[in-house]
Amino acid sequence: MHRHFQARTRHERHPRPLSLAGGIMSAFLDELRGGWRDLIGAVIGLGLGIGAYNPVSSFFFRALEHEFGWSKAAAAVSLIALPVTAAVLPFAGLLLDRFGVRRVAALSTICMSACFVWLSAMNGQLWTFYAAFIVLNVLGCATGPVSYTRTISTRFRKSRGTALAFSLLGIGMTAMILPPLIAAILAHWGWRGGYRFFAAAVLVGGLLALALSRGPVQGASAPDTLAGDRLATAVTKRAFWLLGTAIFGLSVASLGFVSQFQSLAIEKGLAPATAPFLLSALAASVLVSRLVIGGALDALRPERVAATALCLAALGMLLWMFSGPHVATALIAVLLIGLSIGAELDFLSFFCARLFGLRHYGAVYGGLAAFFYTGIAAGGIAYGVLHDRTGGYVTALGMSAALFVVAALIFLTLGPAMRDAERAQGALVAEAPGLYARLRQALRMRSTEGRSLETNCSCVKGKNL
C-alpha cells in the first residue's frame, strides 16, 4: 500500500495538463469509481437544500405583496436573514469539520423543513415573515454547499472543478424544474401550499442525499487534506479578502436580479406567462455553464475562466437593460447572465480549496460564504429600494453590469496567489509519502504502548489476586 501511495504521489508531483475534453473526462471517470455515491448524494442534497428557494423567491414575494399589501422593499428586506446566516456560517463550518457532514446536515435538513411549515402558517405580520426567514437560513445553512462541496473536494482531486460542477447541477436542475411547478402550485393552492410543498421536498430530498453520501475522505491517503489554513490564518491573507470581495460583487449583481425577476419581466413589457419560461431558460443556462466552466477550471487558468464568464454576464445585463420587450433578446440576455449564476458557487468552492487547502475547508468556506450570503441580501434589497425610489429597474441593472466587470478584474488579480498555492500543494504531495510513513509509525507506537499498558495492568491485577 505504501509503495502504491509513493507511485501515485510521484505521478501527482508533475501532473500532465488536462485537455478540455478527453483528459478531463478521463480523470473524472477514474475518480468517479470511488465517489459516485457521494456525487449523486450531493446533486440531490444541493438541489433540495437551502438554495432551492432562491430561484422562485420572486414568485412568493409577488404573491405576498398582493395579499398583504407589502411594498417590494418590505418583502425584499426578508433577505436581511442572509447576513445573519453569513455570521453563523463559519461556526457551521467548524461544526462540520468537527462532527462530520452527515450529522450536522441531517439536523439542518429537519430544521429547514420545519421553518417552511412555519412560513405557511403566518398571518401577514412582517415580523413573523422576517423571523421565520432568519431561522430558516441560519438553521438550514448546513444543507448547502458548505457541506456537500467539502465531501466532493476531498474525493475528487484531479477533476475537482468538473466534479464540483456536476454536484452543483442539482441546484440548476431544480431551478429549471421549480418555476413552472411553483407557478402551478401558487395558482391552485396559493403561497401557503407552495411553502408546504417546500417543507416536504427538502425533508425527503435531504435525508435521501445523506443516506447516499459517505462523507469526506479522511486520512493520509488524500495528501492535500493533510494541510490547509485555519480560518484565523486565512483571514490574514490578501487572497481571502480579494476572493470574498469578488464573490460579494458577483452575488449582488446576479442574485439581486433573480430575486426580482418576475417583476423585471413584467415591467419590461413581457407577458406574465413568459417569466416562468425565461426563468427556466436561465436555469438551463446555469446547467450548461456549470459543466463548461467546471471543466475549464481544471484545464485552464482558473482566474481567467472566472473573468471571462463575468464579462459575458455583464454583456447579458446590458442587453436586458437596453433591449425592447422582445422574447428573443430577453432569452439571449438571461442565457448570458446565467453564466454568473451558474458559476458563483463553482468559483467559491474551487478557489477556496485551491487557495486555502482542505484540512479546515468547512470553516474557511463558511467565512467566504459570508460574502456570498451578504451579497444576496444586499442585491435583493438594493433592487427593491432602487425600484421604489426611481420607479424602475434601470439603475439596478446598471449597477449589476458594473459589479460584474469589477468582480472579473478582482479575479484576475488572484493569479499570483493561485500559482503560489499550486506550488505549495505540489511540495506537499512530494512530501506525502514521508508524512504517511510517520503517521503509520506513530499509530504503530501508540498501538504498542497500548498493549504494554494492558499487559502491565494485567500483571498488577494478578498480583492483587
CATH numbers and ranges of domains, the chain? 32-214+230-427 (1.20.1250.20)
**DSSP SS3 for 228:** strand
Question: pLDDT per position in the chain (465 positions), as tens?
Answer: 444 444 444 444 444 445 555 566 777 888 888 888 889 999 999 999 988 887 788 788 888 888 888 776 666 666 667 677 778 888 888 888 888 888 999 999 999 999 999 999 988 788 888 888 888 988 998 998 888 888 888 888 778 888 888 888 888 788 778 888 998 999 999 999 999 999 999 999 999 999 998 765 554 445 555 567 888 899 999 999 999 999 999 999 988 888 788 788 888 888 877 877 887 787 777 778 878 888 888 888 999 999 999 999 999 999 999 988 888 898 999 888 887 776 777 898 899 988 988 788 888 988 998 898 888 888 888 888 898 899 889 999 999 999 999 999 999 999 888 888 777 666 655 555 555 455 456 556 655 555 554 555 455 445 544
Question: What distance lies between CA 384 and its chain's CA centroid?
Answer: 24
Measured between alpha carbons, how far is 452 from 465 in angstroms, rounded to an integer? 20
Beta bridge pairs of residue 228: 357
Nearest to 242 by CA among 80, 398, 413: 413
Q: In whole angstroms, how far apart are CA 282 and each of 175, 176, 313, 342?
A: 8, 8, 12, 9
Beta bridge pairs of residue 357: 228
Helix 361-390 / helix 327-356 crossing angle, nearest 10 deg? 150
Radius of gyration of the chain (CA): 24
Locus of grid cell 425584499 = 76
Let me know: does 81 contact 138? Beta carbons within 8 Å: yes
